């Protein structure tokens, strides 16, 4: 009998908990940018999460196949690009808007891999929602076009992350693949962090505590839960659940950061969320079996 959730409902609950943890962690991460910078914040997140994962899981590396190593490498690359781009985005635009744009990645993935042309109608609705975001004025002023661009890159990386996570979950036992990929990401980012971070200001108790909290909430909890859920959920069902992320992010931005994105912003979030769910359901009607 396998460990973890035995029914799709249990696996679905893990994805929802992962989403809440990730978006709250992202809101807290904004507080690290002034001290660590974007690269430093991403590196710290990977380093702490990687150390905890490797210590807890103790991944077995002996006998790992070349295919498994490549899967872990692909996961590491998508994680680094996704998180760096996302942090660059939320440094410039509100959290809810950044995640709304980011979720277009999984949406387009579900449309492209789906079997029904009607799914493209949902994509049109999603882009209409993004157009509304362009009309948004938030509590910090006008929106930053570069922030939109970084969020789009994060979205493309998120689509790659879904594919890489599914393959890694199939190649490694438990969450060994995640531990290996997170460690790879930390090692890749270390030289850049050494050059950009003022460690005299970073080695304060409040900064270290916040960095650990962000790492646990943004990486350790959500990615572990998502990898476990992907053993029991088809990627299309997983994509439906992750489509709720813009709503969760908008609420986290409002509650934790006090970010208000106005009527157009919230309507855009709602349209993209509805389009994401509709596109996945249309493209993958009847798909309910896990890949791994």
**195: Cβ–Cβ under 8 A, 6 or more apart, which residues?**
none
What does pTM read for this prediction? 0.79
Distance between CA atoms of residues 105 and 111, nearest Å = 10
User: So what's the pLDDT on residue 288?
Assistant: 40
Distance CA 131, CA 114 (A): 24
pLDDT for position 5: 45
* Cα gap 236→288, rounded to integer Å: 8
Largest interatomic CA distance in the chain: 56
Instruction: Give the confidence band of 284 by pLDDT, cuts at 50, 70, 90.
Output: low
pLDDT at residue 139, rounded to an integer: 52
More confident: 7 or 169: 169
User: What is the structure's pLDDT at 289?
Assistant: 40
C-beta neighbour count of 76 within 10 angstroms: 25
Closest-CA residue to 27 (of 273, 222, 264, 248): 248
> Is the distance from CB of 30 to CB of 257 less than 8 angstroms?
yes
pLDDT of 10 over the 60 cut: yes
CA distance 95 to 78: 20
- The predicted-structure confidence for 58-109, as pLDDT tens digits, reads as follows 887 777 788 888 988 999 999 999 999 999 999 888 888 888 888 888 777 7
Mention every residue, 6+ apart, whose C-beta is less than 8 A from residue 122: 107, 111, 275, 276, 278, 279, 282
How far is CA 261 from its chain centroid? 21
Q: What is the number of alpha carbons within 13 Å of residue 212 lying toward its C-beta?
A: 8
Q: Is the pLDDT of residue 287 over 90?
A: no
pLDDT tops 80 at residue 113: no
- Residue 175 near residue 120 (C-beta atoms within 8 A): no
**How many angstroms separate the CA atoms of 211 and 32, rounded?**
7
pLDDT digits (tens, 9 = 90+) for 124-141: 888 888 788 876 665 555
What is the pLDDT, as a whole number, of residue 186? 92
Between CA 43 and CA 40 the distance in angstroms is: 5
Q: Tens digits of per-residue pLDDT, 197-228? A: 776 667 788 888 888 888 889 877 887 787 77
Which pLDDT band, with edges at 50, 70 and 90, does 8 fall under?
low
Q: What is the C-alpha separation between 109 and 279, in angstroms, rounded?
A: 10
DSSP code at position 144: P
Distance from CA of residue 133 to its chain's centroid? Answer: 20
pLDDT bin (cut points 50, 70, 90) of residue 185 is very high
Reported confidence tier of residue 159, pLDDT bands at 50, 70, 90: confident
Please compute the mean of the pLDDT values over residues 270-291 and round it to a whole number.
64
User: In this structure, are residues 155 and 105 in contact, taking their beta carbons and an 8 Å threshold?
Assistant: yes
Angstrom distance (rounded) from CA 155 to CA 86:
8
Tokens of 274: 């509805």
**pLDDT (average), residues 242-249:** 82
User: Does the structure show a pLDDT above 50 at 291?
Assistant: no
How confident is the prediction for the chain on average, in pLDDT? 80
**In terms of Cα–Cα distance, which of 146, 138, 130, 41 is closest to 89?**
146
What number is the average pLDDT over the span 242-256?
Answer: 85
Q: Write the DSSP symbol of residue 139.
A: T
pLDDT of residue 2: 42
Question: What's the pLDDT band for 1 if we cut at 50, 70, 90?
Answer: very low
If you average pLDDT over residues 168-181, what whole number do you get?
Answer: 81
- pLDDT interval class at 268 (50, 70, 90): confident
């Amino acid at each position: 009998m396998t460990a973890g959730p035995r029914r799709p409902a249990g696996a679905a609950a893990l994805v929802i908990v992962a989403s809440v943890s990730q978006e709250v962690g992202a809101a807290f991460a904004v507080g690290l940018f002034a001290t660590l910078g974007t690269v430093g914040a991403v590196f710290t997140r990977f380093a702490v999460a990687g150390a905890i994962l490797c210590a807890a899981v103790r991944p077995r590396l002996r006998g790992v196949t070349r295919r498994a190593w490549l899967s872990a490498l692909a996961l590491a690359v998508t994680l680094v690009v996704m998180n760096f781009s996302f942090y660059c985005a939320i440094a410039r635009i509100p959290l809810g808007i950044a995640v709304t744009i980011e979720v277009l990645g999984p949406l387009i993935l579900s449309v492209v891999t789906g079997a029904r042309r009607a799914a493209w109608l949902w994509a049109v609705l999603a882009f209409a929602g993004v157009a509304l975001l362009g009309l948004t004025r938030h509590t910090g002023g006008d929106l930053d076009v570069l922030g939109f661009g970084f969020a789009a890159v994060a979205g493309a990386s998120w689509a790659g992350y879904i594919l890489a996570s599914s393959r890694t979950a199939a190649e490694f036992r438990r969450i060994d693949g995640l531990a290996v990929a997170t460690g790879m990401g930390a090692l890749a980012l270390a030289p850049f962090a050494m050059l950009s971070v003022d460690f005299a200001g970073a080695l304060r108790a409040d900064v270290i505590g916040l960095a650990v909290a962000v790492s646990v909430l943004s990486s350790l909890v959500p990615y572990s839960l998502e990898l476990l859920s992907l053993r029991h959920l088809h990627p299309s069902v997983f994509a439906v659940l992750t489509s709720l992320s813009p709503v969760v992010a908008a609420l986290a931005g409002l509650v934790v950061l006090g970010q208000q994105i106005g009527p157009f912003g919230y309507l855009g979030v709602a349209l993209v969320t509805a389009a994401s769910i509709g596109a996945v359901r249309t493209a993958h009607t009847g798909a309910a079996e896990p890949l791994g």
